Structure 1
Amino acid sequence: MFTIISYDIVNDKRRTKVMKLLKGYGQRVQYSVFECQLNPTELINLTRQLLALIDRNTDSIRCYRLDADAVQRIAIYGIGRVTTEPTHWLV
């Protein structure tokens, strides 16, 4: 399912680790926003890894799961486009 993940991490080292982790799952579309195509298992695995990296008292991660109809209603003003290609293939 199309998933938008945003984060606000106060510590530089943790923020870099979160960013590198998310690069393996999706496309960075803004400084702290990623678009990902995740199946339920991938979401569970990613969530576990993110929770292990952040400080829940100071950091914030938001995951927005969008169905196909909601993705069609995304409006982008200025440069950019909705990420529609998978970020990885299983061969």
Structure 2
Amino acid sequence: MFNRLVAEHGMTDVSYGRVRDYIARRRPEIWAEAGRGPVNLFIPQTHRPGEEAEVDFGDVYISLNGVRTLCYLFVFRLSFSGKAVHRPVDRTIGVSYELAW
């Protein structure tokens, strides 16, 4: 687009960055006006108590008796209340630890 503006219209006083930013801002507006683009809308999520939860695992280093130890981190989050449980598990012996925040 920038090259065409320079070649076809002789626009030498505009920068590539300015053209890029303008296109990024205008493209969704043009698509919406033409009826082809996504419309910005908000869809609220509703979660019934006890129906949904998210579970994830990851690595975390903790200080265990003064020794930096790599553990698994188990994360459980209830979708309705947002309450979460984070539990590190020592990889070497399979022991779960209480987190003191």
TM-score (normalised: structure 1): 0.20
TM-score (normalised: structure 2): 0.18
Higher relative contact order (CA 8 A, sep 6+): 1
